[in-house]
């Protein structure tokens, strides 16, 4: 799988270990995009992260930048989260925000006017995203 070459084996192992030591969060509502990418960005794609939250891909038509943010269904104790983006031609993630967060990871940005992007996010070890999407 192409995504696997984008994340180092060490990063995956550390992320999985940290995720396995966490308590299960309380019931959650659906995540919504809250403008974390800033003015001029509109949601162009999104993927649900299996009951934990949503990763949003946004685009700013005026500057040609894409932005990714991963949002939890509900805030709570900090958990391992990730938001990442790359042009399809990039050999690895161009920009990634990875750490323990209470509500969202990101935003991360990539200039990609006229290109496809690979993007994604993770919450507590569960990943969702798109590969070579939103071309243009």
The secondary structure of the chain as a DSSP string is: -HHHHHS-HHHHHHHHHHHHTSPPPPP-PPP---STT-TTEEEEEEEEETTTEEEEEEEETTTTEEEEEEEESS--S-EEEEEEEEETT-SS-SEEEEEEESSEEEEEEEE-TTS-EEEEEEETTEEEEEEEES--
Peptide bond into 83 cis (omega under 30): no
Average pLDDT over residues 28-49: 93
Weakest mean pLDDT among 1-15, 61-75, 110-124: 1-15
Question: For residue 76, what is the DSSP state?
Answer: -
- Look up the pTM and report it: 0.79
Indicate the pLDDT class of residue 30, thresholds 50, 70 and 90. Answer: confident
Q: What is the pLDDT of residues 61-88, one digit of tens each?
A: 999 999 999 999 999 999 999 999 999 9
């Amino acid at each position: 799988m192409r995504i696997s070459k984008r994340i180092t084996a060490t990063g995956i192992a550390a992320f999985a270990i940290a995720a396995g030591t966490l308590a299960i969060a309380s019931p959650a509502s659906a995540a919504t995009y809250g403008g974390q990418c800033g003015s001029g960005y509109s949601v162009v794609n999104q993927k649900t992260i299996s009951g934990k939250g949503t990763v949003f891909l946004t685009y700013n038509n005026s500057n040609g930048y894409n932005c990714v943010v991963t949002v939890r269904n509900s805030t709570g104790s900090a958990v391992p989260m990730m938001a990442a983006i790359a042009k399809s031609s990039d050999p690895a993630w161009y920009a990634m925000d990875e750490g323990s967060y209470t509500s969202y990871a990101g935003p991360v940005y990539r200039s990609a006017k006229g290109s496809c992007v690979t993007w994604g996010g993770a919450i507590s070890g569960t990943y969702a995203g798109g590969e070579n999407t939103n071309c243009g």
